[in-house]
Chain A
Amino acid sequence: MNTTILLLLFAPLVGFLINIFFGKSLGKTVSGVIGTATVFISFLCTLCLFSQINSGAETIKFHLADWFTVGSIKVNFSFLLDQLSVLWLLFVTGIGTLIHLYSISYMHDDENMHKFFSYLNLFVFFMIALVAGSNLLIMFIGWEGVGLCSYLLIGFWYKNQDYNDAAKKAFIMNRIGDLGFLIGIFILGYTFNTLEFLEIKSLLGKDVISPSLLSIAALCLFIGACGKSAQLPLSTWLPDAMAGPTPVSALIHAATMVTAGIFMVTRMNFLFDLTPDVQNVIAIVGTITAVVAASIGLVQNDIKKVLAYSTVSQLGLMFLALGLGAYEVAVFHVITHAFFKACLFLGSGSVIHALHGEQDMRNMGGLRKVMPITFWTMMISTLAISGIFPFSGFWSKDEILMTAFHANIPLWVIGSIASIMTAFYMFRLMYLTFFNDFRGTEEQKHHLHESPALITVPLIILGTLAAVGGVISLPGNSWLNHYMAPLFAHKAHGEHHLDSQAYMLMAIATIGALVGIGIAYSMYLKKKQVPVADNEVQGLHKVLSNKYYLDEIYMAIIVKPLYAISTFAKNFIEKYLSKTVFGFGSATYALSIQGKRIQNGNIGVYLFAFILGICGFLIYLFNIRN
């Protein structure tokens, strides 16, 4: 058992070390194979643990080593392998393996391929730590570690300073969230004298703790989740993160890392259950993010940007579910989303690969015939994300909306609007990319080709999962809810009965999706519209194209003033302070020059001063006597 866990935890780290130190001499293919194999080993180990846990085995607590003590709090390298973490690891390492495999082909022309694989391995290692950690600080190691890998991989092509800016932005915005996370850790550590999840859980039931303090702790943790999972107002880094190679976008910025916030809230569900006010905040933030990001996605022309906003929007829906306390529903959507969004990103990578780096959909079109596998797998995933029966996204999104309908009608309405937008922009993407005639250069047209098997096989596997993934949690007969039941205090929300109301909601959702698809169909397939050039965009469209000017607003109210203050402090305060301090020195110097003048050797002056002194002394004595 211990060997399995050690292998699971450290295989990707070994892969990282091999690739970083020897990767270059091993050659591209070997380093790619090592990178893939180590993640696959983790996957196999996870599978082994999963089969045990699924058949009812005890939760595994694994103590690796002591780490350090803070005051009276002991922090250890220890891991908790329960239903939640094992399930999460299953798709992290599973999809991770597929994306590593894909990258062997995708990155083959890059001279630093071994570095790419080493970073990717390091990412998987930290992601495993994040998920498997049994206390908040191990989770925090993983949390910051995946942020680092994200930074390294967004800026993988570091010759380009725009990419470096994107990488830096991602790291810093995540750090804003991390401060929240850290304060949350402090509050919990201070209150419970431990950072272990299970201990906090049991103490929460026993002790009487001020509810407001718990609320602040929960809110702080949620701020951390906002940073990592790109929720408003910390969302703007994720679209920029698309500067990284496409496999990175698929693995880190769609399927795994960005769902860490959802994982964290789910892991701490016992805390959030006690803080309904924070749950409301989560639901509202999630819903607003879902609709805002979806609306921006409507007008994006970069194929990866569309998918990026779609990811932000889908994460918003997951937070909506979390805010309503429907943790298993959120987890369900995380899993189906991981399937179809990874597939979509890898598919877009396949397209970009075929077009030699072209990402603008205005210069695509008609690729359906030359790239059938890419097309069909992406089509299935598009149907899934749009919520079309019976693809996986239909089931999971339906659960979220149904939960929202029962809890709060306005949230349901807004969530539904976001879903309609999703159907629209996804079909817009498909029509612009794969239908009508090719709009690129003759040169590109000449080289169009379907991608090799290393790229298409992962696509086919993910496409299949995107199609049938819904079976893990069908209404009324949910394996997932049953599996996760021990984690949550309440009865699963997902167990909605298939009554007439449920059928009605499904019908409404489906009609909504079809409306979105229909509009896209008439605009981009029937009328063959192509989005206008960037400088011709007007009105609301312009606001959306510019992402509601969020970046500009942050620039104007935060970054620019900070720079201004910095320059002011550097050029003014520092000088002034220095002058003041050393003014004491100059004053002394000036005084001594004056003093020098008194001692001029003139006996008359000395005598005068002497008599003056005596007179003064006598007056002083006289005054005291009286």
Chain B
Amino acid sequence: MNISIVLIVLLVGAIATYVSGNKLASKIALLTSIAAFGATLYALNAFNGGENLDVNTIWINRPAVNFALHVDGLSMAMLLLTTGLLPLIIASGFVTKFENEKAIYALMLFMGFAMAGTFLAADGFLYYIFWEIALIPIYFIALKWGNGDIEARKKAILKFFIYTFAGSLFMLLAFIYLYTKGGSFDINKLYALQLNSTEKTYIFFAFFLAYAIKIPVVPFHTWQANTYSKAPGVGTMLLSGIMLKMGLYSVLRWQLPLSDSAAKEYMPIIVALSIAGIIYGAVVTLKQKNIKKLLAYSSLSHVGLIAAGLYSLTIEGFQGAVLQMLSHGLVIVGLFYVVELIYNRYHTYEIKEMGGIRIQDTYFASLFMIIMLASVALPTTFNFIGEFNLLYSLFKVNMWYAIIAGTTIILGAFYMLRMFQKVMLGGETKSFQKISKQESIVLVIIVVVTIFFGLFPQPIIDLIEPSLQSILTQIK
């Protein structure tokens, strides 16, 4: 077998979902995503058994572009994240009644397809195509099914689209330049190019612009909060759970190995910038009144830490970054799902209009609390493992980096507990209909997986470590 099967399942599923009509669409979509996850697990098993799952066929002759997919531990982990979260995100859609269901579920699967492709592509051109087409479904999802006034929404989504697209053009330029040097987009040939340090600096910053906007790194984050709050719940989950990781993953896969000396040279500045982003994100989060924006800014703070770990160029930083991408993906999807459940009952995202929910639905409150505690990286949750690695990697670079970045564990607890108190605690104010068994399944899965990998993270570490080591060797 080869890994393209996962992509095929997603693409065919997307078409089938659209064709099957509004009545069946959600079910077909869920089945497809579960099938894709199953295929991924099967591939994981084969990969662990030493089987080669790569694909490499000629796609376009001139310029020489190959349909090349490569599987290593890193892309396997990202693929697991994508196909693992997709069923959860699709199932979270079930609590909302969408117009034209066949279109939105098809777009969700199509987006999953594009993102999975981004994580697997081993050809620069192919990678760029996957990277860009992932934008299209989310653009339509946010535009057609989003919240609030249509004009304001249009504006916000268009800004997001153009901004990220503009950033990516610099990456395209970098790829074209590299192609003129070596005559190939093949990742290994690109790795092998001999570039001088000026070239590497240009490459480094061209990629950086694309990724800094996508991740986003402060101050390139201005699209994020607005887009998150305007997109529908499932769109926000796709963006924050998976798409946000495309930029982080690409730093590891493309930017750092292709611009090694520049990466080393600018490491202290970029790490410092990322750390500033952690603190800035946390501080802005504190006083947010809209819960979706609050979570958007908390994400900004969290990815700042991940980015800092990546740019620290240490194995602990790489490991922590990948672990945190996975755990953050799970937890942020859970949190945005919680928000949707509340929204379905209260029809608002304003925190001040919530409160007194725990007393009415303790089961829901417990699940929410565990996910909230995971997001503040309590030990024995998956997030702790990643955060510990990340902070340790920063400590290895510079003790002050770890101390300043470490304030995130204080500020994070501050804004999350504050939010939880306002949203959930206190006496009953508005009646809250208890969440049903079906509604709770997604949360239960997230809680179980988060605690499970908090206790047994080693299989994932073993999966990703060799590939991260080889990337590190490539840089050093």
A residues near B, CB below 8 A? 66-71, 115, 137, 140-141, 144-145, 148, 151, 155, 158-159, 161, 164-165, 168, 171-172, 175-176, 178-179, 182-183, 186-187, 189-190, 216, 562-563, 565-567, 569-570, 573-574, 577-578, 581-582, 585
Give bound CA distance, A164 to B422, whole Å.
10
**Cβ contact within 8 Å between B284 and A569:** yes
Q: A151-B417, A159-B426, A183-B399 are in contact. List 14 more A-B contacts (CB 8 A).
A: A70-B319, A115-B362, A161-B425, A164-B426, A171-B413, A171-B417, A172-B414, A179-B407, A186-B395, A563-B286, A567-B287, A581-B163, A581-B220, A582-B159
| A182 neighbours in B (Cβ, 8 Å) | 388, 391, 406, 409
Q: Smallest CB–CB gap between A194 and chain B, Å?
A: 14
Q: Is B427 an interface residue (CB 8 A)?
A: yes
Known A68-B458, A148-B378, A566-B287; contact A161-B409, beta-carbon cutoff 8 A? no
Q: Which of B191-243 contact A (CB under 8 A)?
A: 219-220, 222, 225
Q: Smallest CB–CB gap between B391 and chain A, Å?
A: 7
Known A68-B457, A179-B409; contact A164-B425, beta-carbon cutoff 8 A? yes
Q: Which of B338-367 contact A (CB under 8 A)?
A: 358-359, 362
Q: Is B52 an interface residue (CB 8 A)?
A: no
Q: Smallest CB–CB gap between A203 and chain B, Å?
A: 19
Known A70-B389, A563-B286, A566-B284; contact A183-B395, beta-carbon cutoff 8 A? yes
**Cβ contact within 8 Å between A569 and B280:** yes
Known A158-B426, A570-B287; contact A71-B359, beta-carbon cutoff 8 A? no
Give bound CA distance, A186 to B139, whole Å.
43
**Cβ contact within 8 Å between A67 and B425:** no
Q: Is B78 an interface residue (CB 8 A)?
A: no
**Cβ contact within 8 Å between B406 and A183:** yes
| A186 neighbours in B (Cβ, 8 Å) | 391-392, 395, 399, 402
Q: Smallest CB–CB gap between A164 and chain B, Å?
A: 5
| Dominant SS among interface residues on chain A | helix
**Cβ contact within 8 Å between A71 and B316:** yes
| A145 neighbours in B (Cβ, 8 Å) | 378-380
**Cβ contact within 8 Å between A562 and B409:** no
Give bound CA distance, A562 to B159, whole Å.
30
**Cβ contact within 8 Å between A562 and B458:** no
| B426 neighbours in A (Cβ, 8 Å) | 158-159, 161, 164
Q: Smallest CB–CB gap between B211 and chain A, Å?
A: 16
Q: Smallest CB–CB gap between A573 and chain B, Å?
A: 8
B residues near A, CB below 8 A? 159, 162-163, 219-220, 222, 225, 280, 283-288, 314-316, 319, 358-359, 362, 373, 378-380, 385, 388-389, 391-392, 395-396, 399, 402-403, 406-407, 409-410, 413-414, 417-418, 421, 425-427, 455, 457-458, 461
A173 (CB) vs chain B CBs: closest residue: B410
Give bound CA distance, A563 to B288, whole Å.
11
**Cβ contact within 8 Å between A577 and B388:** no
**Cβ contact within 8 Å between B222 and A159:** no
Known A70-B316, A567-B287, A577-B222; contact A168-B418, beta-carbon cutoff 8 A? yes
Give bound CA distance, A329 to B437, whole Å.
55
| B396 neighbours in A (Cβ, 8 Å) | 190
Give bound CA distance, A148 to B369, whole Å.
11
**Cβ contact within 8 Å between A570 and B407:** no
A155 (CB) vs chain B CBs: closest residue: B425
**Cβ contact within 8 Å between A183 and B402:** yes
| A573 neighbours in B (Cβ, 8 Å) | 284
B403 (CB) vs chain A CBs: closest residue: A183
A73 (CB) vs chain B CBs: closest residue: B392
Known A68-B385, A183-B403, A582-B159; contact A158-B425, beta-carbon cutoff 8 A? yes
Give bound CA distance, A67 to B425, whole Å.
35
Q: Smallest CB–CB gap between A591 and chain B, Å?
A: 15
B460 (CB) vs chain A CBs: closest residue: A68
| B385 neighbours in A (Cβ, 8 Å) | 68
Which are the 8 A-B pairs with shortest beta-carbon distances?
A566-B287, A566-B286, A578-B222, A186-B395, A141-B379, A159-B427, A158-B425, A71-B316
| A151 neighbours in B (Cβ, 8 Å) | 417
Known A171-B417, A566-B287; contact A71-B406, beta-carbon cutoff 8 A? no
**Cβ contact within 8 Å between B458 and A67:** yes
**Cβ contact within 8 Å between A175 and B222:** no
Give bound CA distance, A346 to B396, whole Å.
48
| A161 neighbours in B (Cβ, 8 Å) | 421, 425-426
Q: Smallest CB–CB gap between B358 and chain A, Å?
A: 6
| B461 neighbours in A (Cβ, 8 Å) | 68-69
Q: Smallest CB–CB gap between A491 and chain B, Å?
A: 36
Known A158-B359, A168-B421; contact A585-B392, beta-carbon cutoff 8 A? no
**Cβ contact within 8 Å between A179 and B403:** yes
Q: Smallest CB–CB gap between B421 and chain A, Å?
A: 5
**Cβ contact within 8 Å between A581 and B222:** yes
Known A67-B458, A145-B380, A581-B222; contact A565-B283, beta-carbon cutoff 8 A? yes
B356 (CB) vs chain A CBs: closest residue: A159
Can you list 20 A-B contacts with CB-CB less than 8 angstroms, sorted by A residue number?
A: A71-B315, A137-B379, A140-B379, A158-B425, A158-B426, A165-B421, A168-B417, A168-B421, A172-B410, A182-B388, A182-B391, A186-B399, A190-B396, A216-B399, A562-B286, A565-B283, A566-B286, A566-B287, A570-B284, A585-B162
**Cβ contact within 8 Å between A69 and B358:** no
Give bound CA distance, A469 to B366, whole Å.
41
Among the interface residues B163, B280, B395, which one has the most CB atoms of the partner chain A within 10 A?
Answer: B395
| B225 neighbours in A (Cβ, 8 Å) | 574
Known A155-B425, A190-B396; contact A178-B287, beta-carbon cutoff 8 A? no
Give bound CA distance, A171 to B392, whole Å.
23
Give bound CA distance, A176 to B287, whole Å.
20
| A562 neighbours in B (Cβ, 8 Å) | 283, 286
Give bound CA distance, A573 to B418, whole Å.
23
Give bound CA distance, A562 to B414, whole Å.
11
Q: Smallest CB–CB gap between B338 and chain A, Å?
A: 17
| A216 neighbours in B (Cβ, 8 Å) | 399
**Cβ contact within 8 Å between B358 and A179:** no
Q: Smallest CB–CB gap between A324 and chain B, Å?
A: 29
Known A158-B358, A159-B426; contact A577-B458, beta-carbon cutoff 8 A? no
| B410 neighbours in A (Cβ, 8 Å) | 172, 175-176, 179
Q: Smallest CB–CB gap between B228 and chain A, Å?
A: 13
| A578 neighbours in B (Cβ, 8 Å) | 222
Q: Smallest CB–CB gap between B349 and chain A, Å?
A: 15
Give bound CA distance, A141 to B314, whole Å.
25
| B457 neighbours in A (Cβ, 8 Å) | 67-68
Give bound CA distance, A208 to B407, whole Å.
31
Give bound CA distance, A216 to B399, whole Å.
11
Give bound CA distance, A565 to B413, whole Å.
18
Pick the residue among B163, B392, B399, B407 that contacts A70 (CB under 8 A). B392
Give bound CA distance, A69 to B392, whole Å.
12
Q: Smallest CB–CB gap between B318 and chain A, Å?
A: 10
Q: Smallest CB–CB gap between A193 and chain B, Å?
A: 12
**Cβ contact within 8 Å between A148 and B458:** no
Pick the residue among A175, A566, A567, A577 that contacts B409 (CB under 8 A). A175
B162 (CB) vs chain A CBs: closest residue: A585
Give bound CA distance, A216 to B400, whole Å.
12
**Cβ contact within 8 Å between A66 and B458:** yes
Known A148-B373, A565-B283; contact A570-B403, beta-carbon cutoff 8 A? no
Known A155-B425, A186-B402; contact A566-B283, beta-carbon cutoff 8 A? yes
Among the interface residues A68, A140, A151, A581, which one has the most CB atoms of the partner chain B within 10 A?
Answer: A68
**Cβ contact within 8 Å between B219 and A577:** yes
Known A67-B458, A578-B222; contact A179-B406, beta-carbon cutoff 8 A? yes
Give bound CA distance, A144 to B376, whole Å.
11
| B162 neighbours in A (Cβ, 8 Å) | 585
**Cβ contact within 8 Å between A172 and B413:** yes
| A183 neighbours in B (Cβ, 8 Å) | 395, 399, 402-403, 406
B155 (CB) vs chain A CBs: closest residue: A582
Give bound CA distance, A172 to B407, whole Å.
11
Q: Smallest CB–CB gap between A330 and chain B, Å?
A: 26
| B222 neighbours in A (Cβ, 8 Å) | 574, 577-578, 581-582
